[in-house]
Structure 1
């Protein structure tokens, strides 16, 4: 556990910038490959950081308790990695065994990490290492204590999620190297992905040699003693574009300037939300959560707009639309799934960072133009079919309904409708690359539910009939709202009818959503607390509540609002005994006790449940359980916990931010979407609004009588108008103003 001061943040004599509060090592003992990236710009192509574990997508990258550096690699992305380097001192190592023995220990006491910057000391070589980056160029600064300095460049072997193959390196000038490598296919990313790079040193190269086994290159430098700088520019399209990215983004050698520019960029984004009140540790955790909300998803397009299109049988290099001055109108992205994003980044980005939300919408639609489908999670310019359903549907529609409309929304509707029909992405279950049988969409349309098991057999991951039925029903409801907004009444009626299909997997005799086979027979025996038995990354107790679009309808199936509230409240009381999560990491998801938890805030399927009470007439229970989850799951600064499960590229960080500022959306895709008001972790919150999208300048939330026990809203007013319900619609909120809350230790 990191020990930090509990000094109130109202004491401003430290004058800390927002970026100074971020604690990047949070939960880093449980990292995934893309979880931790220190020397990185927001959504950067380059994600430069040290690697202590390199085997597999899970449990790899920077793992805090592992004390050995195995390289500094430049890509930490969903199903992608690439170009690992290691500065060494040849005087301290046997060059003959260098290809298999070049790792070095390091000490956290000599380490400094902040967004955009990483510094540490390699014990074995007596070398100080500093890392920073632009969006597409990694920048290294080493301090050697001898003239035997060299760089080992690794272009082979397992590196995180990918096996790196076909690595090559060529010297083209006295100080310049060029090369490429290939990310071999994985079970999640079905096609290979090339990475091109250009390396430039601030001094001449004395010699390059290929080490035994191939794929590893030793670069010896002239006059290495003292400070040495190296730039590494990337491109997914060509060597020419790697050079363009370098020339465009880093034409100079001022390392400190790039550190400061990166710091400034992060600070500007983090500073869109300003918090006061609460302890120093709470503010650190808040800005760390917000940093996570802007991490993980990566740029794959070059500075001139060229990008890799791997969506069809033939690989192509294409160019994004350009402005009149020749600049790309948006970036193209590599991204894990938007599964669960309807309760996390959808709300946060579309309110606070609408320009980011719009860029991602445009990128998703570019995949549709190229390959005919909007992806769930693309990697290397290709579909991966990660997770299930059409999880990008709520993201795109939510942007439209909130007035973010700098895209062709008629084409967007066409694309999303195609995804929801036979032949679209709903047909495919997780990682189902070559068939379209695992998603069970034909059964969902024909019989009103996806059976479990799928009669045709196992064709992919997550072929869980009840989960698929619930997910499709919600996403159909979202699409119906889009149809209504565009005046497509027939489509509206059709998808609204489909959105009621969730009722077909609700078993009134048990009161739970329950697996049902093709013949209409309920699964026997049925245990609603058994993890994975018909449910994707959840159990039946958790997943039963996945009906965000018709909670009152669900409650009626349970016997009415009072019975539904009592049932859910009991689940929370039981979940509290286990800390509301499946332990401290997703590795414990199949633990015999943790897997049976009735509500899990360590993964996406049930993270909306605390907000259901308010929809059923009990806002006090929403306020209470939100406060309990925040202080149990999303507080503290520690390397061994933080998100207590699966932080999928900013989803849990976003949820933590929303719960702490007290704004949440259950559906997010209706006309003029509604925000629930739930109280706040801080005495004052100020949200700066983007003037290019919203009329208001800022949203201010002022909380009176705040405190750990005072979790209930006694009174609320917005712009001096009293509020009977603790909700605000989007137009009200982005018009700007002040929300004042008076808190109490007793429910109203």
Structure 2
């Protein structure tokens, strides 16, 4: 049904011609005639885009993420914003707290050298635009220039078609570019067609140290004149014989000019633009092809592969192809090298990454099941930060800690990898590293973006008193110093670490962290039935409104955050008066949340809106995205099956730039959640317990085939078949895996990864009703 990206040499010309036709005219094609990359809709949610959200001319996890910028002021509301009709530059880095060199081809007949340094932007029209993963084409109306973009992992590749012989390229190495102010930009010509340069990302409130980017630019024709200056930070390259087509490569490195040249020579030694486009398609198709779906509507399939594509977005490689990487964790900047294979290639990649906050319900499950090699590389990268700087990060940028969000959010990710048999890392070192994070002086002691102190996280109170007070008595340090949220988060992460301790025979530690994992009980107010802030003296916050956003709760309200006890839901239910009362309470919250579409508006910026902020369940942000699956743990799998389908059909559906994730898509988290909900697999704990299990719900499609990585799992394929599946038949009447009845709609990771067929008989009524 699909072209999977493995092209036979005899058919290469034919396939390539088919691709060119599909790129130029995607409309009117049947999905069976398309590659999976052609099903992806990159424009999804781009009216609400933030700097690192949109991607086009990029490889999976590539250092280069080349795309047009229509807004450049700040990390939020910047990058490619669909409603803005002006291109301000084509920049190469759209990463967590990082940006990089921006360029723009121009025609000097349409402007002059003086004014172009002040404003070179050009209008463009979406009707003349083509975007698929790995490729972006647009037309600059002001200059009459057709632009095509693609890339390797570390090299951006441009192809321009000019109308006149007055063509030039503006190189912008100054000013605000997304999250960073670009300073100290310089460019040096080292040959008729060759340039090298560097720039600095100035410090931000999130990334406290400056960060250099090195680059090498090569054109396929001579440059006859260079104007501009280092003081100005902008350079104009007048192309010799610039009429018609011109190509340009921009190679990046975060370590040196020499390594930028190495990356260029290693990854892109030729000028065959179409080959790189094809190679990118192959790479994306191979990853997207790990999951193949049948059934559902064309739009549902397109949206599914768009979600899966987002699950592999945002978190970016920072090491060079030869393994050198920037280490900014110490007092001085250092260039270090990753361990190499016998062939001289890095054994894993090192990454720039937003927080793993909420990843326990998203990329933990998806990556560790479908892309275990990616999960293993990330684990090793996190441990490399520990070796260099003494902490496992929760979100590193520029080779350094940002302390984004709260807690020790990497703990569930690493423990989950180990428990699922991903063992290509030093797990004894990993345990010691994670334990350090959970103790005084570790990352749990730091609030969000708390760079120079160790008080904002309130860990000392959590250990001594059993809860983090609100407010923290020492005062404000960093962000998100929300006592109840911190207490619940620490308790869950302690439980995760306890599971690691148990399997590694650290019995004393197991007992200690299991004891701490009960601390969530200390912020539950039985009189109100909600988690509630209380001060150091143990006095509950007065007055208290569980629907008030933010006061004591991180990016949530008390109603949403009360359910953040994934490791002990039965214990939480007991505090609420038993399973039946807890189920009724949560079901009522879902009924209310349905009236607002289960989200706080259609973007993260609307979470504090007077009406939207009071929603009792919010599937637009991480704190309550597990809630539909809680019912099953309290004996009501029917409600889990019902509400998961309601959420999918309301929140994660449609193909429009106006909405998509209806909140905060933090580098693959919400895309991953949408994929998991649509294939009907979920892990409440993040899969950190011994022999972790998956909750089974009704998938969106008739059949789902997951290709298991044979280097990690020996099962070959996992196939999920749902008979009589539609939007009315959302309940599972019967489930069988390889002919055996599935009890309680739970399957172990060990069984799933042995491969086989999960057969689901779907029904319009829950089994208890159908069977009567």
TM-score under structure 2 normalisation? Answer: 0.95
* Matched-pair contact (CA < 8 Å) for 1:46–1:135: yes
Asked if 1:177 corresponds to 2:201, the answer is no
Q: Deviations over 1:427-453 (max 9, x none)?
A: 000000000100000000000000000
**Equivalent position to 1:166, from 151, 174, 184:** 184
> Residue 676 of structure 1 aligns to a residue in which SS?
strand
Matching residue within 654, 665, 680 for 2:699: 680
1:498-533, Cα deviation, whole Å (9 max, x unpaired) = 000000000000000000100000000000000001
Match among 746, 755, 771 for residue 727 of structure 1? 746
Q: Deviations over 1:283-314 (max 9, x none)?
A: 00000000000000000000000000000111
Indicate the residue corresponding to 1:569 in structure 2: 587
The answer as to 2:236 corresponding to 1:218 is yes
Partner of 1:739: 758
In structure 1, the residue matched to 2:714 is 695
Q: Secondary structure at the match of 1:696?
A: coil
Q: 1:310 to 1:211 in 2, by over 3 A?
A: closer
**1:40 correspondence with 2:58:** yes
Deviation at 1:97, TM superposition (A): 1.3
Instruction: Give the 5 Å matches for 1:321-336.
Output: 321-336=339-354
Aligned equivalent of 1:614: 632
Q: Does 1:493 align with 2:493?
A: no
Contact kept, 8 Å, 2:186 with 2:230, in 1: the verdict is no
Looking at structure 1, the residues matched to 640 and 741 of structure 2 have their Cα atoms a distance apart, in angstroms, of: 20
| 1:453 paired to 2:471 | yes
Preserved contact between residue 420 and residue 691 of structure 2 (Cα < 8 Å): yes
* SS of the residue 1:437 aligns to: coil
- Deviation string 1:189-228 (CA, Å, 9 cap, x unpaired) is 0001000000000001101111696001001110010110
Q: Distance in 1 between matches of 2:615 and 2:472?
A: 26
Give the secondary structure class of the aligned counterpart of 2:300: helix
Please give the per-residue CA displacement for 1:613-642, whole angstroms capped at 9, x wherever unaligned: 000000000000000000000000010100
Matches within 5 A, 1:290-689: 290-667=308-685, 668-689=687-708
In structure 1, the residue matched to 2:727 is 708
How far apart are 1:497 and its partner, in Å?
0.1
Separation (CA, whole Å) in 2 of partners of 1:310 and 1:54 = 26
Contact between 1:179 and 1:196, CA under 8 Å: does it hold in 2? yes
- Report the 3-state secondary structure (helix = DSSP H, G, I; strand = E; otherwise coil) of the residue aligned with 1:323: coil
Distance 1:367 1:220 in 2: 43
Residue 256 of structure 2 corresponds to residue 238 of structure 1: yes
Tell me, in whole angstroms, the C-alpha distance in 2 between the residues paired with 1:359 and 1:192: 26
Question: Is residue 499–residue 688 contact of structure 2 (8 Å, CA) maintained in 1?
Answer: yes
Query: Aligned equivalents of 1:738 and 1:531: distance in 2?
Result: 44
Aligned counterparts of 1:174 and 1:6: Cα–Cα separation in 2: 43
Map 1:47-66 onto structure 2 (within 5 A): 47-66=65-84
Q: CA deviation at 1:724?
A: 2.3
1:6 to 1:470, Cα distance in 2 relative to 1, 3 A:
farther
Assess if the C-alpha contact under 8 Å between 1:6 and 1:281 holds in 2. no
SS at match of 2:642: helix
**Deviation (angstroms), 1:94:** 2.3
Q: Which aligned segments of 4 or more residues in structure 1 are displaced greater than 6 angstroms?
A: 4-7
Counterpart of 1:128 in structure 2 is 146
The whole-number CA distance in structure 2 between the counterparts of 1:397 and 1:18 is: 32
Deviations 1:548-589 (Å, cap 9, x if unpaired)? Answer: 000000000000000000000000000000000011101111
Q: How far 1:672 moved relative to its partner?
A: 1.1
Give SS of 1:32's match.
coil
Secondary structure in structure 1 of the residue aligned to 2:658 = coil
Q: CA deviation at 1:539?
A: 0.2
Q: Are the counterparts in 2 of residues 156 and 164 from structure 1 also a CA contact under 8 Å?
A: yes
Worse-superposed segment, 344-353 or 706-715? 706-715
Query: What residue number does 1:203 align with?
Result: 221
Distance 2:112 2:153 in 1: 36
How far apart in 1 are the matches of 2:446 and 2:229?
A: 44
- What CA RMSD, in Å, does the superposition of the two structures yield over aligned residues? 1.2
Give SS of 1:725's match.
Answer: helix
* Cα shift readout 1:456-483 (whole Å, capped 9, x = no counterpart): 1101100000000000000000000000
Q: Is the 1:99–1:213 Cα contact (8 Å) retained in structure 2?
A: no
Residue 6 of structure 2 corresponds to none
Q: Which moved more, 1:90-99 or 1:133-142?
A: 90-99
- The structure-2 alpha-carbon separation of the partners of 1:5 and 1:104, relative to structure 1 and needing over 3 Å to count, comes to closer
Q: Distance in 1 between matches of 2:513 and 2:449?
A: 26
Q: Deviations over 1:107-146 (max 9, x none)?
A: 0000000000000000000000000000000000000011
Q: Could you give the per-residue CA deviations for residues 596-619 of structure 1, whole angstroms, max 9, x where no partner exists?
A: 000000000000000000000000
Secondary structure of 1:631's partner? helix
Preserved contact between residue 492 and residue 566 of structure 2 (Cα < 8 Å): yes
8 A Cα contact 2:26 2:38, kept in partner: no
Structure 1 match to 2:98: 80
Distance 1:212 1:94 in 2: 20
Could you tell me how far apart the structure 1 residues matched to 2:377 and 2:132 are? 26
d(CA) in 2 for partners of 1:305, 1:383? 20
Tell me the CA shift for residue 742 of structure 1: 0.6
User: Once structures 1 and 2 are overlaid, which stretch shifts more, 96-105 or 434-443?
Assistant: 96-105
Displacement of 1:6 in angstroms is 13
- Contact kept in structure 1, 2:394 and 2:409, CA below 8 Å: yes
Q: Quick check: 2:502–2:510 contact (8 Å CA) kept in 1?
A: yes
Cross-structure match for 2:13: none
Q: CA offsets per residue over residues 247-303 of structure 1, 9 Å max, x none?
A: 000000000000000010000000000000000000000000000000000000000
TM-score (norm 1): 0.98
Contact 2:563 2:624 in 1 (8 A): yes
Question: CA separation in 2, counterparts of 1:547 and 1:521?
Answer: 22
Give the match for residue 145 of structure 1.
163
Superposition deviation, residue 723 in structure 1: 1.6
Q: Distance in 2 between matches of 1:641 and 1:227?
A: 37
**Equivalent residues of 1:169, 1:178 under 8 A apart:** yes
Cα distance between partner residues in 2 of 1:183 and 1:27: 27
TM-fit CA distance, 1:593: 0.4
